[in-house]
A and B are shown apart, each in its own frame.
Chain A
Amino acid sequence: MSGRGSGSPYAPHTDAETEAMLDAVGVDDVEALFDIPDSVHFDDKFGIDAKSEQEAVVETKKRLRRNDDLTEFLGRGHYEHYVPSLVDHLAQRSEFLTSYTQYQPEVTQGFLQALFEYQSMLVEITGLGVANCSMYDEATALAEAALLAKRVRAADGDRVLVPDYVRDGHVSVLENYTNGAEVVVERYGTDAGNVDVDALADAIDDDVVMVYAENPTTTGAVEEHLNEIGDLVDDHDALFCLGSDPVALSLLQRPVDVGADVVVGDASVLGLPTSYGMGLGVFACREDFLRQVPGRLVGASEDADDNRAYTLTLQTREQHIRKERATSNICTNQAWVALRAAIHAASLGSEGLVNLAERMVELPRDLAADLDDITGVRAPVHDRHHFREFLAHTDQPAPAIASDLEAEGFAVHAVGDHRLQVCVTDANEHAADRLVAAVEEVTH
Chain B
Amino acid sequence: MEHYDQAAYRQVDDDQYEPLLAEKDETTTEVESPLPDELTRDELELPSLAEPELARHYVRLSQQNYGVDSGPYPLGSCTMKYNPRFTEDVAALNAASVHPDRSAESVQGTLELQHDLQDYLGRIGGMDAVTLQPPAGAAGEFAGILLADAYHEANDEGHRDEVLIPDSAHGTNFASAALGGYDVVELPSGDDGRVDLDALDAALGENTAALMLTNPNTLGLFERDIERIADMVHDAGGLLYYDGANLNALLGRARPGDMGFDIMHFNVHKTFATPHGGGGPGAGPVGVTEALAEFLPEPHVRQTETEKYERYTPEHSVGKVHGFSGNWLVLVKAFAYIDRLGDDGLSDASAKAVLNANYLAEQVDYNVPLGPFHHEFVASAGDQDAADVAKRMLDYGVHPPTTKWPELVDEALMTEPTEVETKDNLDDLADAFNAVAADDTETIENAPNRTTARRIDQTSAARNPRLSWYDLD
Contacts and interface: CB of A to CB of B under 8 A. Distances in A.
Contacts of A188: none
Contacts of A78: 99-101, 324
A397 to B, nearest CB: 15
How many chain A residues sit at the interface, stated as a range, is: 35 or more
A434 interface: no
Given A100-B73, A169-B324, A351-B48, A56 B95 contact: no
Contacts of B60: 110
B456 A301 contact: yes
A357 B111 CA distance: 33
B81 interface: yes
A52 B344 CA distance: 12
Interface in A44-95: 45-53, 55-57, 59-61, 63-70, 72, 74, 76-78, 80, 84, 86, 88, 90, 92-95
A357 B469 CA distance: 24
Contacts of A305: 1, 454
A369 B212 CA distance: 57
A354 interface: yes
A385 B370 CA distance: 66
Contact of B277 (A34, A96, A279): A96
A192 interface: no
Contact of B120 (A46, A120, A176): A46
A251 B35 contact: yes
A151 to B, nearest CB: 12
Contacts of A63: 109, 112-113, 116
Contacts of A64: 90, 93, 95-96, 109-110, 113, 332
Contacts of A170: 323
Contacts of B250: 36
B319 A176 contact: yes
Contact of B174 (A24, A323, A350): A323
Interface string A321-356: 111111011111111110100010111111111100
Contact of A277 (B58, B62, B325): B325
Contact of B281 (A59, A266, A334, A347): A334
Nearest to A298: B467
B46 A121 contact: yes
A105 B171 contact: no
A319 interface: yes
A217 interface: no
Given A106-B452, A114-B58, A332-B269, A98 B123 contact: no
Interface residues of B, number: 201
A214 interface: no
Contacts of A180: 178-182
A16 to B, nearest CB: 9
Say what secondary structure dominates the interface of chain B: mixed
B329 interface: yes
Contacts of A57: 86, 89-90, 336
Contacts of A41: 253-254
A253 B40 contact: yes
A305 to B, nearest CB: 5
B203 interface: no
A177 B345 contact: no
Contact of A307 (B1, B90, B252): B1
A8 B46 contact: no
Contacts of A52: 340
B343 A8 contact: no
Contacts of B355: 13, 18, 21-22, 25, 30, 33
A358 B344 CA distance: 55
B418 to A, nearest CB: 9
Given A136-B322, A413-B101, A290 B465 contact: yes
Interface stretch (A137-145, A156-164, A202-210, A231-239): A137-145
A97 B22 CA distance: 24
A95 B348 contact: no
B182 A8 contact: no
A67 B109 contact: yes
A352 B46 CA distance: 10
In order of increasing CB-CB distance, the 3 nearest A-B pairs are A277-B324, A349-B48, A7-B348
24 contacts: A7-B347, A11-B420, A46-B124, A49-B342, A56-B340, A57-B336, A99-B68, A103-B75, A107-B66, A108-B66, A110-B65, A134-B279, A177-B179, A279-B322, A301-B460, A305-B454, A308-B9, A314-B465, A324-B174, A331-B172, A333-B280, A335-B280, A336-B275, A337-B277
